[in-house]
Structures are given as structure tokens and as C-alpha cells.
């Protein structure tokens, strides 16, 4: 870490570098090394500049929410279609699927949150948590939630079946 850059405020150019680093999937440590700052400074900057890009009142249980042309008025929408979770469909008893212990619940949550999301720039929720709040990510790992490799992700009910 550069000593001549320590204890100085971040410049607009530094903030641009942080933004580009986030967009490119760099870690806070890598961005900190690039700028010659402590990674906690980078983390605090990210947290202080975060904002909710939009507020929505639509029903997230609608499977058509991304293509909605009715201003998200789900209660009276002619195109309302209930969202279906492929691992644990609403109409099926979860115990019959095999969800009978905390380990299975952790496994299911691990697979769901390891799936990359388009709105997270092809990152998974767990990858974003690891980048934005490493302490919270470590707690998730301690509780049994783990990152699943992309080619190992299973989003089907047989994930919960006991292997014989």
C-alpha cells in the first residue's frame, strides 16, 4: 500500500476506478491495491454510494413480472401467472419432495443463490454478498450456505431426494 496516498479522501477518479472494478468483478482487495487504499475504505465507499435504483409495487410472485405491460397491477392483471419455484413447487408437499431437515434447506438455498442473475451482471447473489459484505458472507458459510459451482447447480426437485 502506498503511504503517500494514505489518509486522503477519495477523488472522483478513484470513484470511477472503484465503479469500473465492481463492473469487472474485481474484489475490494484488488481495487484497494490498485488505488493504494485500505480495503475497508473501498468497502465503506461502496456502502455509502449504494442506492436503490427503483421502487416497485408489483407482486414478485408473478412469473410475468419482467415482461409486464400492465404497470404491475397484479391483483387485477389478465396476464397474472403465479411464479413457480422449480425446486419446491407450491402445489407439492415439501416433505414429500425430501425437504425434511435443515441440511436439505441449506442445500436448496445454496443452489438457488449460486445461480447467476442477469440483473447482477451474471454474478450470483452469493458472489455479490462475498464482494459487498464479506463478513455476512462468512456467516452464511458458517450456517451451511455455500457457493455451488455453476456446472453443479441443480434447480429441480430431485435435488432434495435422498440418494440410495
SS3 47: helix
Given this model, what pLDDT does residue 119 score? 76
Q: Are 97 and 160 in contact (CB under 8 A)?
A: yes
Q: Is the pLDDT of residue 40 over 60?
A: yes
Q: Are 112 and 155 in contact (CB under 8 A)?
A: yes
Residue 79 CA to residue 94 CA, distance in Å, equals 28
Provide the pLDDT confidence category of residue 1 given band limits of 50, 70 and 90: very low
Q: Are 74 and 80 in contact (CB under 8 A)?
A: yes
Tell me the per-residue pLDDT of 89-119, one tens digit each, with 9 for 90 and over: 666 777 887 888 889 889 989 998 998 887 7
Tell me the per-residue pLDDT of 106-153, one tens digit each, with 9 for 90 and over: 998 999 899 888 778 888 999 999 999 999 999 999 999 999 998 898
Q: Is the pLDDT of residue 2 over 60?
A: no
Amino acid at each position: 500500500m502506498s503511504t503517500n496516498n494514505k489518509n486522503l479522501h477519495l477523488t472522483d477518479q478513484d470513484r470511477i476506478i472503484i465503479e469500473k472494478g465492481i463492473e469487472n468483478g474485481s474484489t475490494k482487495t484488488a481495487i484497494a491495491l490498485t488505488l493504494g487504499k485500505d480495503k475497508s475504505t473501498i468497502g465503506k465507499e461502496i456502502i455509502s454510494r449504494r442506492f436503490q435504483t427503483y421502487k416497485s409495487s408489483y407482486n414478485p410472485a408473478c412469473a410475468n413480472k419482467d415482461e409486464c405491460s400492465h404497470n404491475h397491477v397484479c391483483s387485477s392483471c389478465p396476464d397474472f401467472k403465479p411464479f413457480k419455484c422449480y425446486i419446491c413447487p407450491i402445489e407439492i408437499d415439501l416433505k414429500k419432495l425430501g425437504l425434511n431437515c435443515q441440511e436439505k434447506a441449506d442445500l436448496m438455498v445454496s443452489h438457488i443463490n449460486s445461480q447467476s442473475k442477469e440483473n447482477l451482471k451474471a454474478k450470483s447473489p452469493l458472489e455479490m454478498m462475498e464482494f459487498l459484505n464479506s463478513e455476512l458472507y462468512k456467516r452464511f458459510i458458517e450456517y451451511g450456505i455455500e457457493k455451488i459451482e455453476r456446472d453443479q447447480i441443480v434447480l429441480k426437485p430431485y435435488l432434495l431426494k435422498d440418494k440410495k
